Amino acid sequence: MQPQNNIRLTNRRKVIIEELRKLHTHPTADELYEVVRKRLPRISLGTVYRNLEFLAGKGIIRKLEIGGTQKRFDGDLDIHQHIRCTECERIDDLPAGTAVTRCDREILENTGYEIIERRVEFIGICPACRARRAGEGPGHSGVVDTH
């Protein structure tokens, strides 16, 4: 068949996925690089970056576009919310069912976090980009790579 549609299961990819799924710390690319390097000492940082983007594009892992200076990645595909520390930038998962309406005291008891702010971000396609897409005609069928 079309070999260009195949995802090559390289050892690099396997180890990157495995180590990301072991962690629950939503690591940055360089943090994961340090972990993966223990198993693959010759791997390069660029390979980690490239594969994290590649795997996120395929929906195998998730890229968090949360605030902060570095990109972060998550091996857990289940829908869940995050909580970020303003001091050290660490990101934790919130317990399932934590709602925007829960009081700070309850979150403090469940997570140990002292809440400073809740932020709601909606992500979508703006009117101008929707028009531009429509104008491009029906040429692009199927999946659109957004990275």
Q: 87-98 burial string, b = 16+ CB within 10 Å, else e? A: eeeebebbeeeb
Binding status of residue 100 toward a copy of itself by CB under 8 A: yes
Binding status of residue 115 toward a copy of itself by CB under 8 A: yes
Query: Half-sphere exposure of 103 toward its Cβ, with a 13 Å CA cutoff?
Result: 3
Binder among 1, 96, 103, 123 for a copy of itself (CB under 8 A): 123
Binding status of residue 141 toward DNA by CB under 7 A: no
Binding status of residue 12 toward DNA by CB under 7 A: yes
Lookup: tokens for 125: 């396609």
Q: Which is nearer to a copy of itself, 24 or 82 (CB)?
A: 82
**Partner from a copy of itself, DNA, none contacting 46, C-beta within 5 to 8 A by type:** DNA
Torsion angles phi and psi, residue 68, rounded to 5: 115, 165
Cβ neighbours of 107 (radius 10 Å): 19
Would you call 26 exposed, middle or buried from its count of C-beta atoms within 10 A (0-12, 13-18, 19+)? buried
Binding status of residue 103 toward a copy of itself by CB under 8 A: no
Lookup: tokens for 84: 């970020």
Binding status of residue 125 toward a copy of itself by CB under 8 A: yes
Asked if residue 29 lies in contact with residue 53, where contact means CB atoms within 8 angstroms, the answer is no
**Which positions lie near a copy of itself, rule CB under 8 A?**
65-68, 81-88, 90, 92, 94, 98, 100, 107, 111-130, 132-133, 146
**Which positions lie near DNA, rule CB under 7 A?**
1, 3-4, 6-13, 28-30, 40, 42-47, 49-51, 53-54, 69-71
